Chain A
Amino acid sequence: MSQRTSNTGRRKLLKGGRVVDPKHGRDSVMDVLVEDGMIARVDADLPIDGAEIVEVPADFVVCPGLIDMHVHLREPGQEHKETVATGSASAAAGGFTGIACMPNTDPVNDHAGITELILRKATEAQVSRVYPIGAVSKGSKGEELAEIGELHSAGCVGISDDGHPVADALMMRRALEYSSMFDMPVINHCEDPSLKGDGSAHEGYYASVLGLRGIPAAAESVMVERDVSLSELTGGRVHIAHMSVRGSLRAVRSGKERDIGVTCEVTPHHLILTDEDLSYDTNYKMNPPLREAADREAMIEGLADGSIDVIATDHAPHHADEKAVEFDKAPFGIIGLETALPLILDRLVHTGRVSMRRLVELLAVNPARILGLEAGGLTVGGMADITILAPNSTTDIDAASFRSLGRNTPFDGWSLQGSVAATIVGGKAVYVNPGLPQAAVFGDGQP
């Protein structure tokens, strides 16, 4: 921690650059003054006043630190896949100043001891912030509620049995009621287990051609419809994890029209790939599976019109050996932290489907609001968590160079327009893009 403190003692003036900060209605060329790791001022043409000047290239975007609210860190228990340290370093390299980590570790994060362990590891790593998500039920078995109050006290910002849907409707009802006392959302992986069966790909033409067992769209949407109804019943907040089909989006829209406390997220891969991309390459196996083109299109429309609140990666690292098997035997999931921003910039922003302002809402403002974090805006007096984007620089995805231990991505080798220039946490650059000479102004990025 000493290094972070010593570096944040200085006054730094990020001069120039397009500040996109929808929480405070900012979208223009401005300066940001960082002092003692906090944001001191944000305005056009700030006086230098003895501060160290960091000249931000004019086409860079300076925005509140981005937050990925759906990440799997695998520690404790599966450190060969990812650790808190490698996962948070991966987050920093992906432009995320904060990540929320799912509780499906081994043991499950269902009591304060595990939460404290994760937080301690994150503090030691000194990169991006880690916000643990606690379990809904003990062992995520869906039988008894976890000690949600204690999890909240220990630092959990939401609860989820992610990976395991909260299948029992009564358990979901109680979880929503109980968590509302702590104003924490219940994040549900919506999927009816009996409809999913042993499916491994979206139930449709392409799975049929490949002979893969299907997971129907309705496996997800039936539970989203249920959860919207239960949120209405209880007043609790439900957040739909990695939504993938248009039936779910319809349910969320209808809930929002009735002012029910439902929010939702979608992953970059569901916004970019479809089941037509499927082969026996297990880097295309994730849950929910890649859906149809019409679903992808609906998700993109939902982003633009505000029905979808968040883009989250569902970063799910697996060891290469675990993925080098038959498709139906491979674990679900792909990594996403270090590919998300280039993909979103190239495929959604540069194509005009999503504005830069909307991007910041989806990746900073809304995840912070849903999880109740003091983040999501360049707030004077708040933590100087800042992401700098270089929307016009090219990123050549090279999985071998990832800071994540995972290499399981279908995007390896893709060339995309848009890069992360630097990631600043508490005033300290925890990542500076080594392939971007203009980004060197932010430091060396070595925490």
Chain B
Amino acid sequence: MSVVQANPGTDSGRSVTLPTRLRSRHLLSIADLSREEIFVILETARVMKEIGTRPIKKVPTLRGKTVVNLFFEPSTRTRTSFEVAEKRLSADSLNVAASTSSLVKGETLTDTARNLEAMAPDMIVVRHGSSGASHLLAGVAGSRIINAGDGMHEHPTQALLDAMTIRERKGSIEGRKVAIVGDLAHSRVLRSNVLLLKALGADVWVCGPATMWPSGMARFGVTATTSVDDAVRDADVVMMLRIQLERMHGHYFPSRREYFRLFGLTRARMDLAKEDAIVMHPGPLNRGVEIASDVADGPNSVILEQVSNGVAVRMAVLYLLAGIDEGTT
């Protein structure tokens, strides 16, 4: 497979030959990846990104491979991103959405998986509202499972695309102050990012209302604060998490107005960060709730670059999990 002639390289400048597959059959959690594997994915993604700049944005790498995008939660960005990644690699994509699936007829996730499995797909990309749903699938399916977000647990490709974006802008992640602000308790983006950023040596700060701190946070190895100013001060990266407005009903915060006043990312707050700090957001945005429009659309924002990198990272993950070189070259 000549498509991926990945450049050797790691964050520390060591030169190694990039493997073309991962140890694990699945990508369920950042916790399952070694530091080296993270670099392999990020370097592979860099090569994949170039394909997206060509006039003909398609390579035959995954020709004949079937990938099912199994989405039990509404998702535009992630599902489309995977679909574009699959098409660029010439895989046959199949989208199954919850509203059209047997799940609405009472079928269990296990049975849905077994039925899909009977059609012998090579990979299943799954988004599900329950933590551990992708683990459950991995236990019953022979296909390779890619976790595209499971409940409040993890969203590994989001963290990988975030890391790719940070490295593009900042060179390396090691020693960088990254502030993650928002609903910490319910965020799978937070969990995956904390694991990945810490594995790459970042100084991770997390900030959110005290009602939205996960229990046992002291053991996550991050600096936690309820002061956005402290979190943002001298940060290299400010990552905002989407706040789910329905959380107001669980007494998590009183109003959008107060949330924005206490935790919203404004120009004034960004002035506390490093001058060249970047602003990130996994989307979709709640403008005027967690982030002011002039910040979201401002010069420091890399929100749309995250989206572009999402395709590249997902191409890399699909390619590496497919284990294409194994016995075929």
Contacts and interface: CB of A to CB of B under 8 A. Distances in A.
A210 B215 contact: no
B154 interface: yes
A329 B191 CA distance: 21
A326 B132 contact: yes
A396 B211 CA distance: 45
A414 interface: no
Given A209-B191, A210-B153, A211-B150, A326 B130 contact: yes
A204 B135 contact: no
B188 interface: yes
A279 B28 CA distance: 14
A48 interface: no
A205 B216 contact: yes
Interface in B33-57: none
Contacts of B135: 280
A208 interface: yes
A212 B131 contact: yes
Contact of A324 (B110, B133, B185): B110
B110 A211 contact: no
A446 B313 CA distance: 64
A397 to B, nearest CB: 21
Nearest to A292: B216
Contact of B131 (A203, A206, A216, A328): A328
Contacts of B153: 210-211
Chain B interface size, under 10 / 10 to 19 / 20 to 34 / 35 or more: 20 to 34
Interface in B114-157: 128, 130-133, 135-136, 150-154
B132 A280 contact: yes
Is chain B's interface secondary structure helix, strand, loop, or mixed overall? Answer: mixed
B216 A280 contact: no
Nearest to A325: B108
Max chain B CB contacts within 10 Å: which of A206, A210, A216? A210
A204 B191 CA distance: 15
B136 A206 contact: no
A203 B215 CA distance: 6
A321 interface: yes
Contact of B132 (A197, A210, A214, A324): A210
A210 B110 contact: no
B284 interface: no
Interface residues of A, number: 23
B191 A326 contact: no
Given A211-B131, A325-B109, A327-B130, A204 B215 contact: yes
A275 to B, nearest CB: 9
A211 B154 contact: yes
A4 interface: no
B130 A329 contact: yes
Given A321-B108, A325-B110, A328-B151, A205 B215 contact: yes
B154 A324 contact: no
B245 interface: no
Interface in A312-339: 321, 324-329
A208 B214 contact: yes
A202 to B, nearest CB: 9
B220 to A, nearest CB: 8
B219 A326 contact: no
Nearest to B219: A205
A121 interface: no
A357 interface: no
A211 B108 contact: no
Contacts of B110: 324-325
Contacts of B133: 326
A213 interface: yes
Max chain B CB contacts within 10 Å: which of A206, A209, A324, A328? A209
Interface in A238-297: 279-280
Interface in B85-99: none
Nearest to A212: B131
A280 B131 contact: yes
A325 B136 CA distance: 8
7 contacts: A208-B215, A210-B132, A210-B153, A211-B132, A211-B150, A325-B108, A328-B131
Given A209-B216, A211-B188, A325-B136, 19 more contacts: A206-B216, A208-B215, A208-B220, A211-B150, A211-B151, A212-B152, A279-B132, A280-B131, A280-B135, A280-B136, A321-B108, A325-B108, A325-B110, A326-B130, A326-B131, A326-B132, A326-B133, A327-B132, A328-B151
Interface of A: 197, 203-214, 216, 279-280, 321, 324-329
For the complex of A and B, 4 pairs with smallest distance between CB atoms: A205-B216, A211-B153, A280-B132, A326-B130
